[in-house]
Structure 1
Amino acid sequence: MKKCLLLITLILANIGSAQDTIKQSEVIVVEQPEVEKNQFKNSLGDLKINLDQSGEKNIKVGLSSQIWLRYLENNPGTAVNNVPQNHTYDAGLRRMRIILNAQLTNAYSIYMQFGINNQSFISGGGSGTGANGAGKKPQLFFMDAYNELAIIPRINSSTKKANKNHFYLGAGLHSWSGISRMTNASTTKMLTADLPVFNFPNIEITDQFSRQFGVFGHGEYNKFNYRVAINKPFATNRQPGVGEIVDNNQSGKLSFAGYGMYQFFDQENTATSFLAGTYLGSKKVFNLGAGIYSTKDATLAQTEPGVFESHDNLMYGIDAFFDMTIGAKSKEMALSVYSVFYRYDFGPNYLRTNGIMNPGTKDPNFTGETAVEGFGNAKYLLGTGNLWYTQAGFVLPKFSNKVKLQPFATYSLKDLEGLRDIAHFYDFGANLYILSQNAKVAYQYSSRPLFNGDTKEVLTRRGEHILTLQIAL
């Protein structure tokens, strides 16, 4: 591990006077801010490699791993590896990441995050069988890769004191996104075992795991925090059948995104784009926010044979986040609540399905009624219409000096134009924190509705059990 860290240092520090600074480099663990020490006596700080005596030039290294163990109630008519299955057990790598943040000067930094997502026994890897099987040897890819310049830095370079206001500009593959707090969610500080995913409206369609190429700006003015971006969406050229609408942005229009939040109490750390789903009471937070995303000619409909019509995308969100301790201080109880309303417009009756690490395909011999969403754990993810999501978690009274227990529950309402019934989704579970947010075990049960393809009404429901093992630094 030490050799790997030294190699990373040598590569990134090759900008400027690399040889001189590496000789003076040292690896230290930075302590948590004072506000969090009482809450998380066992938590870890950042792994930091100093490139000069002052520590202002440095490289921070982050690692995270989320292992999933699951029990799936498959949609009707599902086959797994060509064998009919009503239920499936599996395990997989939901997320495996390495994060590098190089602070070259007080004004200039480079941020990179790479790894893999969604590898299971049957998906996420190569094609074919044997050594190059569908679940084997996934390729590493970059989720974030951008440069950032401090126009007004957080820390004044002369006085070394915090600036009340700050502003940063950057460019590259980034996740400084609009619409909502959850569109900018941290995947290592989630309240739930996983995110609802429809909080990323372009996920793996015109973005790369919720990132797009472009330029962005973010900053803070007193207690108002904001981020804006102009991006070039990833290209997609799907062709619709008659009566269908699909993602097609062949004209290549830019996208525009922004999100702002007012922080009534404690101000959050926004050195990176990711916002926590829970602080376990380590902060006193109440924020109200709103955001937007728009792009021209993003979808294509075939209204009648040979007649095509492009539609713009316009999406916005309004949300609220609350996290603070409640009750006697000695009990260390805390309440986390987040609620968001989305209005998505992809064009008339647009619908999109999704199944995370879906192992299922169609059983050709099944003769019963199937769901229009498809097979395995597929569900309606999002579409044109209104969506409302709320999550809440409660840290139970202190019963140990080493661990904390936090039950949680969520509710999603999807009122989509293309469906006759409103879709109701439920999740509940609990987090067992072993080393603060650095190490936790989470259990979650999720219930999803399934729809009839002809009537577009609810046909039945299925569930999914997830056990997550998470390590993050």
Structure 2
Amino acid sequence: MNFTQKITLLGAHLLCGAWPLLAQTPKDSVATPPPSPKPAAKPVPELKFKFNSEGTLYAKLGFGSQLWTRVIENNPGTMVNGVPQATTYDVGIRRMRIFATMHLSTRYLLYIQMGTNNQSFISGGGTGTGTNGAGKKAPFFFHDVYNQFTIVPALNEQTQKANPFVLYSGIGLHSWNGVSRLSSASAWRLLTLDTPVFNFNTIEVSDQFSRQFGIFAHGEWNRFLFRFNANKPFATNLKPTVGGGAVDNNQGGKPSFAGYVDYQFLDKETRQNPFTTSSYLGKKKMLNVGAGFYTNQDGTMSQPTADQTRSHDIKIWAADLFMELPFGKKSNPMSFNLYSVLYNYNFGPNYLRTTAVMNAGVADPNFKGAIAKEGFGNAKYLLGTGKVWYTQAGLLLPKFSEKVRLQPYVTYAVKNLDALAQKGTFYDLGTNFLIDGHNAKISVQYSNRPLYSVENNRVFKRAGEVLTCVQLHF
């Protein structure tokens, strides 16, 4: 049975399993009177402890988990747990989080986020056998820890009217990133099953899961929203090869600087935390345009000749557009969602990175065929010096059931990277089954990636995977 046949069989099982949930009970149009309207579902309550009658002083907890199942078409020559495998099936924890926001004064707050990521049967934890065997006991760590102060409050204390200019500043391990809207995307309010990952430009090299230590400022001025930071990147010390591309090496310890500004043409957002929403599920009419940057002096290093190394500045800029337009009947509206961004990356000559989320595969030493330059398992080229254009679009369909709502979507990315001889195109096709908005949903997605030849840096075949994400968040 080939990969396509396996996917067809899997889809049939998913459809059969989901049909009882999606189907509605037929109504007797003659004998049964029309049902009385059901009361609107109450929103999921917050776990919030208020310390004043206005509710402006509080401590709030939140929780979230994203559990994945996958069917992966592995790159050629992949071995999993010592056995050659063309296809791998698994279940894993993509993300698990505990959030805490403590606003014990109108002038300052403390934000903490902790959790774990990317644990499957063989990845994310230990590498041995037994008590701490492969994939077991994944690390649990702090993602965000920052203190924030109010410089100019949203509400004028004398007039009790909204201030046109609002400013906050803080310090710590934070996600007030620059470059693009997607560079600080909330993983819990995505349109798609997951982020494309290249939106986090230094992910897991000079940052910690897209966070760096630093000082930040954010706020708004009329319809402009802005954020800027000065950070100390995590230390990197990769050694370049002679004649090879630049690699992450910031041993000089220079700070990084980043920022992002967007203008809101229609409805306004409130950003009480760093994380941006990718889909409001038709509750807002949005049209934002933005631009941002990231720079780090001497952030990478290359070795043109055997006795010479050269440091290079990281310089990144991006421009993007975000739109969400509700339409249709007011009693049962639809919503169209679009996000498009262009990244211009400069990490130094021929810089190139791969990624492989929860990768189970390694090289099969006995494989004799052509292998992919990206590596094995589900590895793919992530980003590098060059340009990446990414677009995602979704359509929130009208309600046809009281139990679930559908939101199909599509993504398309074009990566034109200097180290490769051919552009790479990546796409995803998926659907969100919204049980309770973003609080409870199931996302099913097919992803397709190009694979590059070791001999000529050109695409020689493509591979795919089917993913399902079950998300609970509140």
The reply to whether TM is greater than 0.5 is yes
Letter of the 2:400 counterpart: F
Find the counterpart in structure 2 of residue 68 from structure 1: 68
CA distance in 1, matches of 2:361, 2:376: 5
1:436 Cα deviation after fit: 1.3
Letter of the 1:89 counterpart: Y
Which residues of 2 match residues 194-209 of structure 1 at below 5 A?
A: 194-209=194-209
1:351–1:418 CA contact under 8 A, matched in 2: yes
CA distance in 1, matches of 2:243, 2:455: 14
Which residues of 2 match residues 89-238 of structure 1 at below 5 A?
A: 89-157=89-157, 161-238=161-238
CA distance in 2, matches of 1:122, 1:94: 13
1:372–1:450 CA contact under 8 A, matched in 2: yes
Deviations 1:13-67 (A, max 9, x none): xxxxxxxxxxxxxxxxxxxxxxxxxxx8453243211134443221111111000
Find the counterpart in structure 2 of residue 47 from structure 1: 47
CA distance in 1, matches of 2:459, 2:162: 54
TM-score (norm 1): 0.90
Find the counterpart in structure 1 of residue 342 from structure 2: 341
Q: Secondary structure at the match of 2:219?
A: strand
1:82 Cα deviation after fit: 1.1
1:43–1:438 CA contact under 8 A, matched in 2: no
Matched, 1:452 2:461: no
1:331 Cα deviation after fit: 2.7
Letter of the 1:123 counterpart: S
Identity fraction in percent: 53
CA distance in 2, matches of 1:303, 1:320: 39
**Cα distance change on mapping 1:63 and 1:155 into 2, 3 Å:** farther
The range that moved more, 179-188 or 327-336, is 327-336
Letter of the 1:333 counterpart: M
Deviations 1:130-187 (A, max 9, x none): 1101211112111100000000122344555543321100000001010000001010
Which residues of 2 match residues 73-472 of structure 1 at below 5 A?
A: 73-157=73-157, 161-244=161-244, 245-472=246-473
Unaligned runs of 5+ in 1: 1-39
Find the counterpart in structure 1 of residue 16 from structure 2: none
CA distance in 1, matches of 2:179, 2:467: 28
CA distance in 1, matches of 2:440, 2:214: 34
CA distance in 2, matches of 1:469, 1:302: 45
Q: Secondary structure at the match of 2:321?
A: strand
The range that moved more, 102-111 or 120-129, is 120-129
CA distance in 2, matches of 1:356, 1:372: 17
Q: Secondary structure at the match of 2:131?
A: helix
Q: Secondary structure at the match of 1:329?
A: coil
1:43–1:436 CA contact under 8 A, matched in 2: no
Q: Secondary structure at the match of 1:62?
A: strand
Deviations 1:231-266 (A, max 9, x none): 000000010111222100000000000000000011
Q: Secondary structure at the match of 2:377?
A: coil
Q: Secondary structure at the match of 1:131?
A: coil
Q: Secondary structure at the match of 1:182?
A: helix
Q: Secondary structure at the match of 2:44?
A: coil
TM-score (norm 2): 0.90
Two-structure CA RMSD over aligned residues (Å): 1.5
The range that moved more, 74-83 or 128-137, is 128-137
Letter of the 2:446 counterpart: Y
1:451–1:458 CA contact under 8 A, matched in 2: yes
Letter of the 1:371 counterpart: A
CA distance in 2, matches of 1:159, 1:127: 61
1:190 Cα deviation after fit: 0.4
Q: Secondary structure at the match of 2:105?
A: coil
Find the counterpart in structure 2 of residue 5 from structure 1: none
Find the counterpart in structure 1 of residue 9 from structure 2: none
Deviations 1:388-436 (A, max 9, x none): 0000000112212342100000000000000111000010110010011
Letter of the 1:43 counterpart: P
CA distance in 1, matches of 2:118, 2:413: 23
Letter of the 1:110 counterpart: L
The range that moved more, 304-313 or 126-135, is 126-135
CA distance in 2, matches of 1:42, 1:395: 21
1:326 Cα deviation after fit: 1.5
Letter of the 2:202 counterpart: N
CA distance in 1, matches of 2:204, 2:157: 40
1:304 Cα deviation after fit: 1.3
The range that moved more, 124-133 or 273-282, is 124-133
1:189–1:277 CA contact under 8 A, matched in 2: yes
Letter of the 1:226 counterpart: F
Letter of the 1:93 counterpart: I
CA distance in 1, matches of 2:91, 2:432: 19
Letter of the 1:309 counterpart: R
CA distance in 2, matches of 1:160, 1:135: 54
Deviations 1:52-102 (A, max 9, x none): 444322111111100000000000000001110000000100000000000
CA distance in 1, matches of 2:80, 2:105: 52
CA distance in 2, matches of 1:122, 1:167: 45
Unaligned runs of 5+ in 2: 1-39
CA distance in 2, matches of 1:225, 1:217: 11
The range that moved more, 143-152 or 157-166, is 157-166
CA distance in 2, matches of 1:404, 1:43: 16
Letter of the 2:218 counterpart: H
Letter of the 1:69 counterpart: T
The range that moved more, 244-253 or 393-402, is 393-402
Q: Secondary structure at the match of 2:469?
A: strand
1:318–1:342 CA contact under 8 A, matched in 2: yes
CA distance in 2, matches of 1:290, 1:414: 19
